[in-house]
Amino acid sequence: GCGDQSSSSNAGAGTTEQEITYSGIIREAGSTSVLPIAEKFALAFMDMYPNLEITYTGGGSSAGVKQCAAGTVDIGAASREVKISETDLISIPVARDGVAIIVNENNPIQGLTIEQVTKIYTGEITNWSEVGGNDLQITVYGREEGSGTRDCFDSIVLKKLSVSPTALAKKSNGEVQIGIQEDASGIGYVSLGYINGVKALPLNDVECSIATCQDGSYPIVRRLYFITQTIPSDAVNAFLNFCRSEEGQKIVADNGFVPLVH
């Protein structure tokens, strides 16, 4: 198993949580959507077990899955479930996430319908004036194929349609956010945690917020997963349990993500 190599634990079965200490390193890699929350989990968990170190690197959902399968990391983070082809791995949901449609803060648009977004992304609508904005060419920011955020967006918004070839492709949420932040003509989709400095648009008149995601009125919501090998080490196990615990889910809510429904 991947955990044995890098993280050691002196925990015995049956002992109570207080007495257990974990040490070593837990390595995480993967989705940039999960990054903000994964780091917060890590900080809180490292506070509890000072001898333990948790590292995180980005790279996208697939990278996370691949590296976990290869054993270079203990936990892969993904904004999608493992595919059938990616055997020997288990996906454990740790949070949920809304995918926000974002535009530049100076864009006067106040909201869009899902159909409008669909048409924008398929290239049917190419000017902001067609949806009530300025007379300005729309620049469509998308993600590379394989990205969990894109999987979610494609399946809920585009359905079977394919994205216009003129759409820019970015490798991460951050890149899309930076782009939109500076580009008055841009529209993009990012994980809820990445909406600072940009304007998240209401969809079908529903505000994009934790609350609306939580109650199911906002349409684009997905689950975020930690992926591990089938038998994770004790330290990893404890960490995963911590993430799914009430305490963990509070961190989720505090950091702009949507807690799991228990």
Partner 1 sequence: MNKKTIEQTMKWVLLGTAFVSLLILVGIIYFIFDNGFLAFMENGLWNFLFGQKWSLADNTFGALPLIIGSIYVTVGSILVAAPVSIAIAVFMTNIAPHFLREIVRPCIDLLVGIPSVVYGLIGMVFLVPLIREHLGPPGYSLLAAITVLILMTIPTIVSVSEDTLRAVPTKYKEASLALGATKWQTIWHVILPAAKSGIISAVILGVGRAIGEAMAIYMVIGNSFSIPKSLIDPSRTLTSNIVGQIEEAALGSTHIHALFGCGIILLLFVFVFNSISFTLSKKGVQA
Residues that bind partner 1 (CB under 8 A): 5, 25, 27, 29, 32, 35, 39-40, 42-43, 55-60, 62-63, 66, 70-72, 85, 136-137, 139, 144-147, 154, 162, 164-175, 177-179, 181-186, 197
What is the spatial distance between Cα 232 and Cα 243, in angstroms, rounded to a whole number?
Answer: 15
| CA gap 113, 128 in Å, rounded | 14
218 or 242: CB nearest partner 1: 242
- Smallest gap from Cβ 29 to partner 1, in A, equals 8
| Residue 36 beta carbon to partner 1: minimum distance, rounded to whole angstroms | 9
Q: Which of 29, 68, 32, 28 is nearest to 52 (CA)?
A: 28
Give 27 or 244: the residue with its C-beta nearer to partner 1.
27
Q: How far apart are CA 24 and CA 77, in angstroms?
A: 19
Residues facing residue 75 across a β-bridge: 28
| Cβ at position 173, least distance to partner 1 in Å | 8
Task: Report, in Å, the least distance between residue 166 CB and partner 1.
Answer: 4
Q: At how many degrees (to 10) do helices 35-48 and 246-254 cross?
A: 130
Q: How far apart are CA 58 and CA 235, in angstroms?
A: 21
Q: Which one, of 196, 188, 204, lies nearest residue 147 by Cα?
A: 188
Q: Which is nearer to partner 1, 60 or 232 (CB)?
A: 60
Q: By C-beta, is 118 or 214 nearer to partner 1?
A: 118
Tokens of residue 175, six digits: 């890149």
SS3 for 112?
strand
Gap between the Cα atoms of 76 and 34, Å rounded: 10
For the CB of residue 9, give the shortest distance to partner 1 in the complex, in Å: 18
Secondary structure class of 46 (helix, strand, coil): helix
Tell me if 35 sits within 8 A of 6, measured CB to CB: no
Closest CA to 173 of 37, 24, 10: 37
- 94's enclosing H/E stretch is strand 89-103
In the complex, least distance from residue 82 CB atom to partner 1, rounded to whole angstroms: 12
**Measured from the CB atom, is 62 or 228 closer to partner 1?**
62
Closer by beta carbon to partner 1, 170 or else 218 = 170
Shortest separation between residue 135's beta carbon and partner 1, angstroms: 13
The smaller minimum CB distance to partner 1, of residues 173 and 212, is found at 173
